Amino acid sequence: MLLARIERLPDVPVTGTRLLRWSNAGHLPPLLLDPDGTTTLLTTRPEVMLGVDPCARRTDHTAELGVGQTLLLVTDGLVERPGLDLDEGTAVLREALRDLGEEPLESLCDTLLARLVPGHGRDDVALVAVRTYPEDRPRPPEAGPNRLPPGIE
């Protein structure tokens, strides 16, 4: 499991960066995709999976998310392949993202899945992609409606 939260720092202007805070219990690390296609794997010291040791201490990690960066959270089904270990599969993932840094999120996800999971995959695949946008400009259509759930202000 990987638990992540994106926060806007209260003392940073609206045009500033956001903070990604996460804890990883034996999952693949988060990956950041820059608009130019550069990727950064947010590798941290591995921690034990949930359920193995109920007393295991968890560590929070943080990284800044700049405007236009895309956070990708994926399951191992996207990168594991017969004959490839996780490191090699992750390298294939990073290469598949090289020209997708400025693609709209829906297109990015569809293209990535088509490149890495042709036909029926052997494992389940989950992909979450979140992109940061500047808040001092009009909201891009792909960001969806600017609505908060009832009761949240």
Q: State pTM to two decimals.
A: 0.85
Question: Does 53 reside within a domain?
Answer: no
Count of structural domains within the chain: 1
Cα–Cα distance, 34 to 64 (Å, whole number): 12
Q: CATH number for the domain including 38?
A: 3.60.40.10
Question: Does 7 reside within a domain?
Answer: yes
Residue 152 CA, distance from chain mean position: 24
Tell me the two tokens of residue 52: 């193995």
Render pLDDT for 30-85 as a digit per residue (tens, 0 to 9). 999 999 999 999 998 878 888 788 888 888 999 999 889 999 999 888 888 888 88
Cα–Cα distance, 2 to 6 (Å, whole number): 13
Q: Classify 84 as helix, strand or coil.
A: strand
Q: Give residue 15's domain range.
A: 2-47+59-143
Question: Does 54 reside within a domain?
Answer: no
Question: Does 25 reside within a domain?
Answer: yes
Counting every residue written for the chain, the total comes to 153
Render pLDDT for 122-150 as a digit per residue (tens, 0 to 9). 678 899 999 988 777 787 777 777 766 67
Nearest to 38 by CA among 62, 4, 72, 89: 72
